[in-house]
Amino acid sequence: ELSKICDYIEDFGVQFASPVGCDMCTFVLSTAKEMLDTKHDEDKVLLYIDEHTCSRLSGVLKKNCKQVVDTNGRDLIENLQNGTHPMLLCTHFMYCFDKIVDETSPIQKNEMRSFLMNNICDKLGSFKSACEALLKKDGNA
């Protein structure tokens, strides 16, 4: 059931929340976005993310962060170049759960829905249609 998956993701995020925090993550990704906008090389941007986020972690979190940069770094760069808000990306990496639901958050509802559709629903396999239906229902509320 989709709600069980959401509960698991929420529990996982709370359990493994990093000391780097949402503000640091959004700052690093905002800076990475500026680097991309000023035509810095993608490898240089990924190195910046690794050095300013992953290196501040320890143990499993550090290993997982480096793995995300190594395996999903190009997707991260593409999302930044396509205008995905850094806070959304940080939420995807389990940093900004508490701020994403804040009414004063700078993230637009349509941007959030699009991000969830492309980065969460598409990866849920047999639960994809349930995820999409849930997002569409929320959009009508």
Write out pLDDT tens, residues 78-99: 888 988 888 888 777 667 666 6
How many helices and strands, by DSSP H and E, does the chain display? 8, 0
Percentage of the chain modeled with pLDDT above 70: 71
Of residues 139 and 19, which shows the higher confidence score?
139
Cα–Cα distances in angstroms (integers) from residue 92 to residues 38, 39, 76, 100, 120, in the given order: 25, 25, 10, 10, 9
| 53 Cβ contact partners less than 8 Å away, ≥ 6 residues apart | 20, 24, 25, 28, 65
What was the pLDDT predicted at 59?
A: 81
pLDDT tens digits for range 45-79: 899 888 887 887 778 778 877 887 888 888 888 88
Residues 139 and 85 in one domain: no
Domain identity same for 11 and 74: yes
Q: Are residues 28 and 54 in the same domain?
A: yes
State the CATH number of the domain containing residue 67. 1.10.225.10
d(CA 28, CA 23) in angstroms, rounded, equals: 9
Work out how many domains the chain is built from and give that number. 2
* One domain for residues 80 and 130: no
Asked whether residue 94 falls in the same domain as residue 28, the answer is: yes
pTM of the model: 0.55
Q: Mean pLDDT of all residues in the chain?
A: 73
